[in-house]
Structure 1
Amino acid sequence: MTRNVPLTRALISVSDKTGLIDFARALAARGVELLSTGGTAKALREAGLSVRDVAEVTGFPEMMDGRVKTLHPKVHGGLLALRDNEEHLAAMAAHDIEAIDLLVVNLYPFEETVAKGADYETCIENIDIGGPAMIRAASKNHAFVATVVDVQDYAAVLKELDAQDGATSYEFRQNLAQIAYARTAAYDAAVSTWMAGAIHEDTPRRRAFAGTLAQTLRYGENPHQKAAFYLDGTNRPGVATAQQLQGKELSYNNINDTDAAFELVAEFGTETPACAIIKHANPCGVATGTSLLDAYKRAFDCDRTSAFGGIIALNQTLDAETAEAITEVFSEVIIAPAVDEAAKEVVAKKKNVRLLVTGALPDPKAEITTYRQVAGGFLVQGKDNGDITLDDLKVVTERAPSDEELKDLLFAWKVAKHVKSNAIVYAKAGQTVGVGAGQMSRVDSAMIAAKKAERMAKAVGLAESPAKGAAVASDAFFPFADGLLEAVEAGATCVIQPGGSMRDQEVIDAANERGLAMVFTGMRHFRH
């Protein structure tokens, strides 16, 4: 179907009145009759526009606090009638139903109400009923009716009317219908997801996912893959909500790695300067320091080779001195809660570097639902927000860790949580000195981490491997003593691991024989 439909009558009922008056004036100037309800009609009249109340059209007043106003045959008949169907036209004539050519509706602000932490009753009252019903009706009948649900489409409507001599084309209405159905789907998804949480239903029979397009990406992980970036509306501080101050458009891999980097550095809060350098979603260096510059240098020293072209995440305001050091080596992205003016000028000299400001750190302990697609379905789980304190540690060896070793054990444990399994992390004095990630064998991860520590020694000019005297963290238990023995061979003096293996005692005995201190957390941090 390709017919154009002249626009003669529009029904406008909006919660968000941004741009409303200018849009309505432009419609009126083109001879379009305006129908409206409640607050929208009032706003239009106050702007000097002529408006017919829907109550006048239906012959029924608004009632029940506005819950019943557009749910009427004269409204839905005007939206659903097929203009090329003789029976429909006869019914319209018999019941005095006027055709509506344009529906402009944006819904009660349910998502915003939930985001503000409103109580259950208030959230329920902000579930729109008439709006979605009209949107679905008008969108189904897009052969004749145009449906607008987003303020950003007002200009497109006016441009279409100019291009089509006061009419809308089928293709244009078809596109608007798709946008409209996506909006009602997202709205229903928000309601159902909120209600599942409100009634403590962790595994509802059906789950709905929704997002708003933030960016069409050039490609995905590889150039032959199509990709896009969507926002979920939670406004969690990070790459999705950050302001990009400079640099090229973020790629799929940039977004993924930047998220991993910022989530990791958030583990350290804002009190102590911290830096995480990420490559392919794994940390190649993480450190705290006496200053942000110190933290960056110590993170960089862990694996100078891998840090090239990495993602730099900071937990405090980026200053000029730190920016100077960072920009000495190529980095894809720098992300921080804030950036001072002097630092902006420094980074501006490197035009290709993406500089992102988030305004805050994400809460690593927040309860968040994560999703992963598999063939034919989705896996849903809570985000790994597990946190371990000194009080949670169980000393299982004859020797207990010293105070300094305990600090390094907890530091290494925080980092291991963000390393792909199997994960082994060596750390000393608040600095990673070796990271083994994503290996099929925990022994291999331990060997790789030790090799990286040796490479760090050569790069930095140390007399011996920094793994000597280091703490080692394992994201899951050692199934055999061999992984632990690799750590011993590298020079580690203390170990943190979940425990829980059938051979725990074998591993504990091996640690005791070599004078290691070992603690169990009782918590695993697999990351796939």
Structure 2
Amino acid sequence: MVIKRALVSVSDKRGIVDFCRELSNMGVEIISTGGTSSLLSKEGIPVIGISDVTGFPEIMDGRVKTLHPAVHSGLLAVRDNEEHQRQMKDLGLGYIDLVVVNLYPFAETIAKPDVTYEDAIENIDIGGPTMLRSAAKNHAFVTVVVDADDYRTVLDEIRSGGDTELDTRKRLAAKVFRHTAAYDALISDYLSNVTGDPLPERFTVTYEKIQDLRYGENPHQQAAFYRKPLAAEGTLVTAKQLHGKELSYNNINDANAALQIVKEFTEPAVVAVKHMNPCGVGIGASIYEAYSKAYAADPTSIFGGIVAANRIIDGDTAAKLSEIFLEIILAPGFTQEALDILTKKKNIRLLDTGELDSAHDRTSQFVVTSIDGGMIVQQSDVHAIDPADLQVVTDRAPSEEELKQLLFGWKVVKHVKSNAIVLAADNMTVGVGAGQMNRVGAAKIAIEQAGEKSKGAVLASDAFFPMGDTLEMAAKAGITAVIQPGGSIKDEESIKVANQYGIAMVFTGVRHFKH
């Protein structure tokens, strides 16, 4: 077969003029619509209007123009089917061998902060997806292009053989169905949110590939990095990498965990993460002080870790950061002095996140977790505690300083893998117990890590104490105050132990399991 007629209608005009000029020079007849037709004509490329093919005018503000048998017969006719051939001939219809279509910019439209519902609906493409699906279904005979990056391959194959290869048409058809599926998923997500049904009977998600990764968690696992079409600023997928080699799968997981924790704080804060758990968190009057505290929290574990800051990294902080090996530093920016210092280290990755919002300012989104044969979906845990909601359950209430440290520890413990215990003092973590099968085990790890620093520290627990043994251990370590959700049938046992040792304890009424 030889490609003789092409139908071209694109909203993304990137490269379309040069593409169509080369098609025309090879003798391909070009049918086009609306703005694409006007552009090609202006550039001196011969174009046949869609109305000349259908014998019917574009109507209803262009809503109806390609939805016509003269178009879809040309796309769907099976070329080696004698009955199809006869019908095409009897009706005086022409074949369409190549379709080049991309769709109304729905994503760009709903991304506008002032978009109206009416504008969003008007930017739902109907004719475009219909043509794409018709052509892709009939890819045995029809070439369909939805991505400007494929123009060159198509031109090269037509030039060499008059038509594209079947394998190419199959690949392009698969891309079309991915494209239309993603387009419909975005529309359904928008309408589901508008109608207040974010967890509907069918949950469809779509993501765009950012890059292939060298491997996954382990070298024998394939992996890739994707982003949501309308990902918010100040997230890992929108961050700009300034220096260093490509991120790995594990880098991405750890960097995202660090970013989520540092967003909990409005004051200067630094978070160090290893294996998706914080190994050091500090806040201070400056980002230098915050990092100094995060480093001092666990100088051993931070080595080879990921560090996230919520302020621009200056020269003094960069100098201190450069003293040890770090995989990644994320921050809302870096001064030139900081970049000059840090880029001397060849392998460190520097990521500019742009301005970060705080956790309580973020709209609660949904977290999708794959399971074998399905997935589970939940709202993101962006709950922020109001100090006024704390319930003092012991004879002694926490002091002003203890309360400050308790709230600091509570912000951290919600991001530690359960069962989780965090010890805090002097605006920094001093002990972290993560991912244990029982709560007393998590407390033991945190207390052993803190050592002498546990004396006078406070303790945060992501869930209630099932019995009083954790409080016994905390008291012996010198811990003076505790924050926990409460709600155990043995709360009175824990309260009794706390009162026995003069520990102040508050209940939040909120649990923060993280698996």
> Which category describes the TM-score, using the shorter chain as reference length?
over 0.9
Partner-residue secondary structure (3-state), 2:300: helix
Shift of 1:85: 1.5
Shift of 1:393: 1.2
Partner-residue secondary structure (3-state), 2:161: coil
Q: 2:103 aligns with which of 94, 99, 107?
A: 107
Is the contact between residue 263 and residue 362 of structure 1 (CA under 8 Å) also seen in structure 2?
A: no
2:419 aligns with 422
Tell me if 1:206 matches 2:202. yes
Tell me if 1:296 matches 2:291. yes
- Please give the per-residue CA displacement for 1:184-217, whole angstroms capped at 9, x wherever unaligned: 1111111111111111114311111211111111
- Please give the per-residue CA displacement for 1:27-66, whole angstroms capped at 9, x wherever unaligned: 2222221111111111212222221111110011111121
- Please give the per-residue CA displacement for 1:500-526, whole angstroms capped at 9, x wherever unaligned: 111111111111111111111111110
Is the contact between residue 220 and residue 226 of structure 1 (CA under 8 Å) also seen in structure 2?
A: yes
Tell me if 1:284 matches 2:261. no
- Please give the per-residue CA displacement for 1:387-423, whole angstroms capped at 9, x wherever unaligned: 1121121111111111111111111001011100011
Q: In the TM superposition, what are the counterparts of 1:403-442 in structure 2 within 5 Å?
A: 403-442=400-439
1:457 aligns with none
The one-letter amino acid paired with 2:150 is D
Specify every segment of 5 or more residues in structure 1 that has no aligned partner in the other structure, as ranges. 455-464
Tell me if 1:86 matches 2:73. no
Cα distance in 1 for residues equivalent to 2:126 and 2:342: 50
Specify every segment of 5 or more residues in structure 2 that has no aligned partner in the other structure, as ranges. none
The one-letter amino acid paired with 2:485 is P
Shift of 1:329: 0.8
Q: 2:58 aligns with which of 62, 71, 79?
A: 62
Tell me if 1:308 matches 2:307. no
The one-letter amino acid paired with 1:320 is G
Is the contact between residue 107 and residue 230 of structure 2 (CA under 8 Å) also seen in structure 1?
A: no
Partner-residue secondary structure (3-state), 2:263: helix
The one-letter amino acid paired with 1:11 is L
Shift of 1:362: 4.7
Tell me if 1:252 matches 2:239. no
Q: In the TM superposition, what are the counterparts of 1:377-392 in structure 2 within 5 Å?
A: 377-392=374-389
Shift of 1:369: 0.9
Q: Normalising by structure 1, report the TM-score.
A: 0.94
Is the contact between residue 5 and residue 96 of structure 2 (CA under 8 Å) also seen in structure 1?
A: yes
Tell me if 1:516 matches 2:503. yes
2:172 aligns with 176
Shift of 1:167: 2.0
Q: 1:264 aligns with which of 261, 266, 269?
A: 261
1:459 aligns with none
Partner-residue secondary structure (3-state), 2:238: coil
Shift of 1:301: 1.1
Is the contact between residue 7 and residue 166 of structure 1 (CA under 8 Å) also seen in structure 2?
A: yes
Q: In the TM superposition, what are the counterparts of 1:356-371 in structure 2 within 5 Å?
A: 356-364=351-359, 365-371=362-368
Partner-residue secondary structure (3-state), 2:454: coil
Cα distance in 2 for residues equivalent to 1:316 and 1:7: 57
Q: Normalising by structure 2, report the TM-score.
A: 0.97
The one-letter amino acid paired with 1:213 is K
Is the contact between residue 389 and residue 410 of structure 1 (CA under 8 Å) also seen in structure 2?
A: no
Cα distance in 2 for residues equivalent to 1:321 and 1:96: 78
Q: In the TM superposition, what are the counterparts of 1:106-505 in structure 2 within 5 Å?
A: 106-117=102-113, 118-162=115-159, 164-236=160-232, 237-269=234-266, 272-364=267-359, 365-454=362-451, 465-505=452-492
The one-letter amino acid paired with 1:502 is I
Cα distance in 1 for residues equivalent to 2:426 and 2:26: 72
The one-letter amino acid paired with 2:453 is P
Cα distance in 1 for residues equivalent to 2:288 and 2:156: 52
- Please give the per-residue CA displacement for 1:299-334, whole angstroms capped at 9, x wherever unaligned: 011111111110011111112221121121111111
- Please give the per-residue CA displacement for 1:438-472, whole angstroms capped at 9, x wherever unaligned: 00111011010011112xxxxxxxxxx11111111
- Please give the per-residue CA displacement for 1:61-115, whole angstroms capped at 9, x wherever unaligned: 1111211111111111111111111111111111222111211111111122222
The one-letter amino acid paired with 2:209 is L
Shift of 1:258: 0.5
- Please give the per-residue CA displacement for 1:267-291, whole angstroms capped at 9, x wherever unaligned: 113xx21100000000000011222
Is the contact between residue 189 and residue 198 of structure 2 (CA under 8 Å) also seen in structure 1?
A: no
Cα distance in 2 for residues equivalent to 1:381 and 1:285: 28
Q: How many residues align?
A: 511
Cα distance in 2 for residues equivalent to 1:319 and 1:7: 60
Shift of 1:380: 0.5
The one-letter amino acid paired with 2:215 is Y
Cα distance in 1 for residues equivalent to 2:250 and 2:169: 35
The one-letter amino acid paired with 1:452 is Q
Is the contact between residue 265 and residue 358 of structure 2 (CA under 8 Å) also seen in structure 1?
A: no
Shift of 1:479: 1.1
The one-letter amino acid paired with 1:378 is M
What RMSD over aligned residues (CA atoms) do the two structures have, in Å? 1.3
